[in-house]
Amino acid sequence: MTQRLHLVFGGELVDPQKNVFRDVADIHIVGMFPDYATAFAAWKAAAQGTVDNAHMRYFIAHIHRLRDEATQGSVTEELRS
């Protein structure tokens, strides 16, 4: 069974109309979640906690979409097997 991993992260943007972080070293990693519903709840809580800062944005990255299970894994993945 394929896992549907989601990463929730955010930080302060240079411009609220663009997705460029002011300081990449200061990105807040909320966490990795096993499904969209859990990730959405975490995203919502983080976003609501920074609602007074128009430059703060949180995102949900669909990590499972970055992997193609049919494609052979990298050397690093093979070492973990």
**Tens digit of each residue's pLDDT (9 = 90 or more) over 52-66:** 999 999 999 998 777
pLDDT of residue 3: 74
pLDDT of residue 44: 97
CATH code for residues 6-34+43-80: 3.30.70.2400
**Token couple for 40:** 């959405």
pLDDT tens-digit profile of 15-71?
Answer: 999 999 999 999 999 999 999 999 999 999 999 999 999 999 999 999 877 766 666
Torsion angles phi and psi, residue 44, rounded to 5 = -65, -45
Alpha-carbon span 63 to 77, nearest angstrom: 15
Would you kindly state where each structural domain of the chain is located, as residue ranges? Answer: 6-34+43-80
pLDDT of residue 81: 47
